[in-house]
Amino acid sequence: MKKYITNALKFLVFISLGIFIFWKVYQDQDWKEILEALHEVNFLWVYVSIFLGIISHLARSARWVLLADSLGYKPSHYNSFFAVMIGYFANLAFPRMGEVTRGAIIKQYEKIPLSTAFGTIITERIIDLIMLVGITGLAILLQFDVFQKFVLENPAVSENIQSILESGWVIGIAAFLGLGAVVIYFLFRQKFEHIKIISKINEKVNTLKDGLLSIKDVKNKLLFILFTFTIWIAYYGMLYVCFFSFPFMDGYGPVVALTIFVLGSYGMVAPVQGGIGAYHFMVISGLVIYGVGGDDAKLFALVVWSAQTLMLIGMGLISYISLPFYNRYKKRINEPAGNHK
């Protein structure tokens, strides 16, 4: 009961934070005007954006199969895709819950140890973080004045960056202590391996390590790189094609889209469900700097976010329903002919 209460409280805190930010962004908005403006939106490009979103998730699931294959497992592409979509769906309930949910699904249906699956997912996230940092660096190089203006015009963002820089020594000490604990563990773990709990921890650490290091044994590294770039090009394309849906975005090119994409990406990784509120704030603030009207910027952020969120809900539900049926079917066709009745 205590666990359920804790989870419920976490959910309420995260969703309340997201709704509060969303309300702050749209509190002065005339929703009648929003509904009227929707008639001018060319939703064909929004549908293309949704299609690109699905392509990115297919590439992510295929990339993970390569990681699992490097460890000697042969997971189904269907199960991998279903797990990815259900994971994103779970993130709409609790931020970062998707990674745990995805690992649990892989363990149940593909019999891959949870710690191993989780290790491969962490590896994926590290690669994605490297990609995001690289894309951020490229965007800053191309549009430094825009990012500078964004930081100056949003004191809260500026204060957060400053506090992170000022607390660098705290992060350094924490990292040093964490590294020290890891070193001590690996130096002395064999001496205490006879203790049951230490033995269990060693087993989990070893499988987690296998998952983390799975990238070095990927057989087709070129294909792995191709899937990685496909994921991020599709992410970028999801936003850029939406520029063509709105008359007021005419004349804004791919470099502007790159800047808005980077800002929106940081809004999506905020600790709120599906980036609600945070994504809208980042995208709207960026568009306003480029000269897009406030109401127009709000409409753009709302439509793009809503389309992708509805896609995640729809595909998540379809995957949740399809997962057990597919695995029952797979089990049935893999049974010896004599076992069918």
Lowest mean pLDDT among 75-89, 188-202, 322-336: 188-202
Mean pLDDT in the chain?
A: 78
86 and 320 Cβ atoms separated by less than 8 Å: yes
Q: What's the pLDDT at 78?
A: 94
Lowest mean pLDDT among 80-84, 145-149, 235-239, 315-319: 145-149
pLDDT in tens, 18-62: 455 454 455 555 556 666 767 788 999 999 999 999 999 999 999
Q: What's the pLDDT at 330?
A: 81
Amino acid at 115: S
Residue that has been written with the tokens 């998707």 in this structure: 98
146 and 289 Cβ atoms separated by less than 8 Å: yes
pLDDT in tens, 196-234: 555 555 555 555 565 566 777 788 889 999 999 999 999
Q: Which residues of 292-306 are buried (b: 16+ CB within 10 A; e: fewer)?
A: beebbbbbbbbbbbe
Q: What's the pLDDT at 322?
A: 92
Report the share of the chain in percent with pLDDT over 90: 28
Q: Is the pLDDT of residue 168 over 50?
A: no
The set of residues, in sequence order, having a beta carbon less than 8 Å from that of 71 and lying 6+ positions away, is: 112, 116, 120, 210, 211, 214, 217
Q: What does pTM read for this prediction?
A: 0.77
Of 88, 107, 103, 64, the closest CA to residue 317 belongs to 88
| Cα–Cα distance measured from residue 261 to residue 237, given in angstroms and rounded to the nearest whole number | 9
The token pair that represents 267 in the structure block: 């809004």
Q: What's the pLDDT at 191?
A: 61
Q: Is the pLDDT of residue 3 over 80?
A: no
Q: What's the pLDDT at 258?
A: 94
Q: What's the pLDDT at 14?
A: 46
